[in-house]
Chains A and B, each alone.
Chain A
């Protein structure tokens, strides 16, 4: 049983110096885990199903190319919906990029940086809701500066409720946080804490 996903993914052992370091920020540690719990074992799945959560998580972490984190979420999806994993892996391949990028309007136009605009490669395999969710997730991961109200209208048209969009956005944004904490703590862990 994994009690702390960040520890698990960063390779932090109980009683280690990194373990003690994390205890200096006890609320951040506890609530990073509670955020994970709220997103992946929610009280209900009325707005976003468990399969949708795991599929989006596998896609988003696959795009971040941290192999340990990506494997963790791919395994979750494989357990819940083995048939979907292959389709998600193909979308990850198609969606790979280096961000952040995107076009700025107005005063910042000179800082615009072009990059790929992902569209779901096999929307039939994903279904309408998930295809729209993946396109939105890719926007948030790589070019959040380009987010517009129209993108939310696309999600609404694909069947996402307003509350469902909030949860989906939190899911993508939370994973963007979690994978970076894991990256940073793992680096600290690997080089040996000096304090």
Chain B
């Protein structure tokens, strides 16, 4: 495997996904978005449809809910920092592209991938990345000092809660992506 990248990668499962023609209505409901039936990752998770459904609805509200809180760019930044720290090259590639796109700061995101979570950033991104990385630790190292830094950087309670959820969600997603298959150079 190469290092962290913002290129589009594929992902190859190590267990057999369900075949597209095996998917029932219940599976499609679990996939939420019908287009996801094309993805071997989601068709593999469809082996346990109830958990997949809960996972997907949780994911979408954490990242897409536009009602205040942390801007989308910084939810994606938290996802990228968590993935970078845990070592999920695939997740980091996807969410680094989102973070770069929504923030219009692709070079800063790129530096996070290239140099790691300690790479130079402005004060607000520093606080967000530090909080995400501390939360990614096992046991968690997130503390009152991180919340104080986030408040000093202008985050309100909903924004901090969004950051916690975005980081925590990638504690979930990274572990599935890393352990059920591997990234490939060709996009699928």
What residues make up the interface of A, taking CB atoms closer than 8 Å to B? Answer: 17, 21-22, 24-28, 30-32, 34-35, 37-39, 42-43, 63-66, 97-100, 102, 104-108, 111, 136, 139-142, 144-145, 147, 149, 151-152, 162-163, 165-167, 169-170, 172-174, 176-181, 183-185, 187-188, 191, 193-195
* Contact yes or no, A144 B178, CB < 8 A: yes
**Interface pairs (8), CB distance under 8 Å:** A25-B62, A38-B48, A66-B140, A144-B179, A145-B88, A152-B14, A174-B55, A176-B172
Give 16 new A-B contacts, CB below 8 A, not counting A65-B139, A195-B156. A25-B65, A28-B61, A34-B53, A38-B53, A106-B2, A147-B178, A162-B16, A169-B176, A170-B45, A170-B48, A176-B138, A181-B164, A184-B135, A185-B164, A193-B157, A194-B156
Number of interface residues of B (CB under 8 A): 64
* Contact yes or no, B61 A26, CB < 8 A: yes
Query: Measured between alpha carbons, how far is A98 from B140 in the docked complex, in Å?
Result: 9
* Contact yes or no, B51 A38, CB < 8 A: yes
In B28-79, which residues have CB < 8 Å from any A CB? 44-45, 47-48, 50-55, 57-58, 60-62, 65, 67-69
Query: Measured between alpha carbons, how far is A185 from B163 in the docked complex, in Å?
Result: 11
In B75-114, which residues have CB < 8 Å from any A CB? 85-88
* Contact yes or no, B51 A35, CB < 8 A: yes
- The chain B residue with its CB closest to the CB of A107 is B3
* Contact yes or no, A163 B47, CB < 8 A: yes
In B3-42, which residues have CB < 8 Å from any A CB? 3-4, 14-16
What residues make up the interface of B, taking CB atoms closer than 8 Å to A? Answer: 1-4, 14-16, 44-45, 47-48, 50-55, 57-58, 60-62, 65, 67-69, 85-88, 116, 135-140, 142-144, 147, 151, 156-158, 160-165, 167-169, 171-176, 178-180, 182
* Contact yes or no, A166 B44, CB < 8 A: yes
Query: Measured between alpha carbons, how far is A134 from B145 in the docked complex, in Å?
Result: 34
* Contact yes or no, A145 B164, CB < 8 A: no
B158 neighbours in A (Cβ, 8 Å):
21, 24, 195
A26 neighbours in B (Cβ, 8 Å):
61
* Contact yes or no, A191 B147, CB < 8 A: yes
* Contact yes or no, B138 A64, CB < 8 A: yes
The listed residue (B54, B139, B163, B178) touching A32 by CB distance below 8 A is B54
Query: Measured between alpha carbons, how far is A145 from B116 in the docked complex, in Å?
Result: 15
Query: Measured between alpha carbons, how far is A101 from B135 in the docked complex, in Å?
Result: 15
Query: Measured between alpha carbons, how far is A66 from B171 in the docked complex, in Å?
Result: 16
Query: Measured between alpha carbons, how far is A173 from B176 in the docked complex, in Å?
Result: 7
B137 neighbours in A (Cβ, 8 Å):
98-100
- The chain B residue with its CB closest to the CB of A36 is B54
Query: Measured between alpha carbons, how far is A63 from B147 in the docked complex, in Å?
Result: 24
Query: Measured between alpha carbons, how far is A183 from B1 in the docked complex, in Å?
Result: 33
The listed residue (B57, B147, B174, B180) touching A166 by CB distance below 8 A is B180
- The chain A residue with its CB closest to the CB of B49 is A38
A28-B65, A145-B86 are contacts. A188–B169 as well, Cβ < 8 Å? no
Q: Which of A24, A37, A184 gathers most chain B CB within 10 Å?
A: A184
* Contact yes or no, A145 B180, CB < 8 A: no
Query: Measured between alpha carbons, how far is A142 from B140 in the docked complex, in Å?
Result: 12
